[in-house]
Homo-oligomer: A and B are copies of this chain.
Amino acid sequence: MNEGHSITSWQGIHEEVLRRIHLRVWKPGDTIPNEADLAAEFGCARATVNRALRELAEAGLLERRRKAGTRVALNPVRKATLNIPVVRREIEGRGAAYSYALISSALEIPPPPVRARLGLGADTKLRHVRAVHFADGRPYVVEERWVNREAVPEIDEVDLSEISANEWLIRNVPFTSGDFAFEARNATPEIAELLGAREDQAVLVMTRTTWNGGMPITIVSMSYAPGYRIHTTI
């Protein structure tokens, strides 16, 4: 296994520190030498050590505090990173042919939970869009979305049968913050039919809300066909 970076590169130091943690030279809870000492040991600049240790701390393996020093995490909180691309690219990335069907697009007053989530007035109409994305002709995910026309007035002019709201929004509307939630739900009759699934079959649902500054942009729930897995490596 020839994968050694030079020991004076930050990646080399990253590897070496990781090795010492894995070999339990430095055990969970131990304080490791400070940056200056490690720089002396490795024969490099302190900034180089800092870069390596900072990344390990961001990964949750080390805990760093000024004056207290750097310790090996007792209860390492693993951080898994999920990539959330545009649906079209996700499907194409699996080598499948992408297609898309708009089901409906209308102005409606949203149900109270949606209104509350977005913090809007009681009689604000939003654009309500429903669509299905297909991979090789098979239903892949059902998109149900509410778009704030106050934040994105152009949404009323877009031909959503040509480009999905998912893709149009990502391309055209920046956002500063958002939140994601994943949960398992039993398929409603409607979702089951759209996905070609059994009623009550377990379905993974991702709900995402995005804002730009304080302005709510959109809330969407993506219901993935049975068998869908979110996968990641650490």
Contact = CB atoms under 8 A, between A and B. Distances in A.
Interface stretch (A73-81, A99-107, A112-120, A121-129): A73-81
Interface string A15-33: 0001001101000100000
A83 interface: yes
B77 A84 contact: yes
A176 interface: yes
Given A21-B174, A22-B212, A229 B182 contact: yes
B81 A80 contact: yes
A186 interface: yes
Given A21-B174, A171-B28, A200-B200, A180 B79 contact: no
A10 to B, nearest CB: 12
Contacts of A79: 81-84
A171 B28 CA distance: 8
Interface string A55-67: 0000010000000
Interface residues of A, number: 51
A121 B173 CA distance: 53
B204 A184 contact: yes
A198 to B, nearest CB: 9
A8 to B, nearest CB: 18
Nearest to A75: B86
A57 to B, nearest CB: 14
Interface of A: 18, 21-22, 24, 28, 60, 74-86, 89, 170-171, 174, 176-186, 200-205, 212, 224, 226-234
